[in-house]
């Protein structure tokens, strides 16, 4: 890993990975390609090294000429593909962007890697295309069903998860048909610094400290496996370093709380942090709103393969991770103001929840 193309590197997980990789690989240079849509921001890249180690390129993964030029100009030997439309709610109201970016964008990247690495007789083996995917491609689990493994059949239930499933299949096909050296990781719900505040955990933190309602879908008993973003970055690095080409690895946080438990835990931590807050107890701000269409009930990840083969396991407990995440958001109000300078998050929040009412 000397010249690494990271797509979506100004987004939540991507920017955390860029920071992690620059620390973990002192000889590596990162070429960071991001379209800077609503969820990506240059604010997430503040204080990074200069061009000798980190090159930011404002561009779209669907731009074939731009992607091909970057592969050759920087002698890219590793691609770590985060760039995606990733919010389920947005995929329900506007699925076209998810199909275009997540499927067509992945296709453009695969073609660029094939042209750069497998052209004619100059077939390289010292390269890697790593595709970052989601546990949502596996569908929903019932209460007693075993956790998802790498062999679980795909059964996506939303336009978002269907688009990610399609991109997974494309990546795998390029490995089988063309011999592209690849790996895939399917991760559970991430949380931590730099997450755009439409997602559950930052939304609950920011609304609670301001005394605003905490909207919880349905009965709040949907079960998720929560993964701290730093643990996710370590897992991807382990896959790049030691993962077997052609393999898929599940990455999860080894926990299964309900969404309501997550919200109540955040409220309790804020009660401790602000014992004199007029909003205390923060749990009284919870409002149950009409559930979203096709809401998956439960996800759970079996992470035994990555532990057995690569020696990886999550280091953050959920309680400590949530406490650290709360502290990060409270310490960075300027970040929030900068990423939502146009009011896009506030506008989305109003549109998404104003008409739902209580369930």
DSSP codes joined into one string, 120-173:
TT---SS-EEEEEEEGGGG----TTSPPB-TTPPP---SHHHHHHHHHHHHHHH
Of 149, 167, 45, the residue nearest 106 (C-alpha): 167
CA distances from 184 to 79, 130, 165, 288, 351 (A): 12, 6, 11, 36, 35
Annotated active-site residue in 77, 85, 136, 234: 136
Contact 28, 1 (CB under 8 A): yes
Contact 288, 218 (CB under 8 A): yes
- Whether 38 sits among the annotated catalytic residues: the reply is no
Is 160 annotated as catalytic?
A: yes
User: Could you give the strand order of the β-sheet that contains 182-187, starting from the edge strand earlier in sequence?
Assistant: 54-58, 29-34, 3-7, 78-81, 128-134, 182-187, 248-251
Q: Which one is catalytic: 135, 225, 230, 302?
A: 135
> Does the active-site annotation cover 136?
yes
Within a 13 Å sphere around the CA of 312, how many CA atoms are in the beta-carbon half? 27
Residue of 160, 191, 249, 329 marked catalytic: 160
Q: Which residues are catalytic?
A: 135-136, 160
């Amino acid at each position: 890993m000397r010249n690494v193309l990271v797509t979506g590197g100004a987004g939540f997980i991507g920017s955390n990975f860029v920071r992690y990789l620059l620390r973990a690989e002192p000889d590596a240079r990162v070429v960071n390609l991001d379209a800077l849509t609503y969820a990506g921001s240059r604010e997430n890249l503040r204080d990074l090294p200069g061009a000798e180690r980190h090159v930011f390129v404002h561009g779209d993964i669907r731009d074939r000429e731009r992607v091909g030029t970057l592969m050759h100009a920087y002698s890219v030997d590793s691609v770590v593909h985060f760039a995606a439309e990733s919010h389920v709610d947005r995929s329900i109201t506007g699925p076209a962007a998810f199909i275009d970016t997540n499927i067509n964008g992945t296709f453009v990247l695969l073609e660029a890697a094939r042209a750069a690495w497998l052209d004619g007789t100059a077939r390289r083996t010292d390269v890697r295309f790593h595709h970052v995917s989601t546990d949502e491609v596996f569908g929903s689990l019932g209460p007693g069903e075993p956790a998802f493994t790498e062999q679980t059949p795909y059964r996506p239930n939303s336009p978002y998860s269907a688009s990610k499933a399609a991109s997974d299949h494309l990546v795998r096909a390029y490995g089988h048909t063309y011999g592209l050296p690849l790996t895939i990781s399917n991760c559970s719900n991430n949380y931590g610094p730099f997450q755009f505040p439409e997602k559950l955990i930052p939304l609950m933190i920011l609304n609670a400290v301001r005394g605003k309602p905490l909207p919880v879908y349905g009965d709040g008993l949907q079960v998720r496996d929560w993964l701290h973003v730093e643990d996710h970055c370590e897992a991807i690095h382990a896959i790049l370093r030691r993962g077997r080409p052609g393999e898929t690895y599940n990455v999860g946080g080894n926990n299964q709380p309900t969404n309501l438990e997550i919200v109540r835990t955040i409220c309790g931590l804020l009660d401790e942090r602000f014992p004199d807050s007029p909003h205390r107890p923060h749990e009284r701000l919870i409002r149950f709103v009409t559930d979203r269409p096709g809401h998956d009930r439960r996800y759970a990840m079996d992470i035994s393969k990555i532990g057995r083969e690569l020696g990886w396991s999550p280091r953050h407990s959920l309680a400590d991770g949530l406490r650290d995440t709360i502290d990060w958001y409270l310490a960075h109000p300027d970040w929030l103001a900068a990423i939502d300078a146009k009011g896009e998050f506030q506008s989305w929040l109003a549109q998404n929840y104003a008409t739902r009412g209580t369930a």
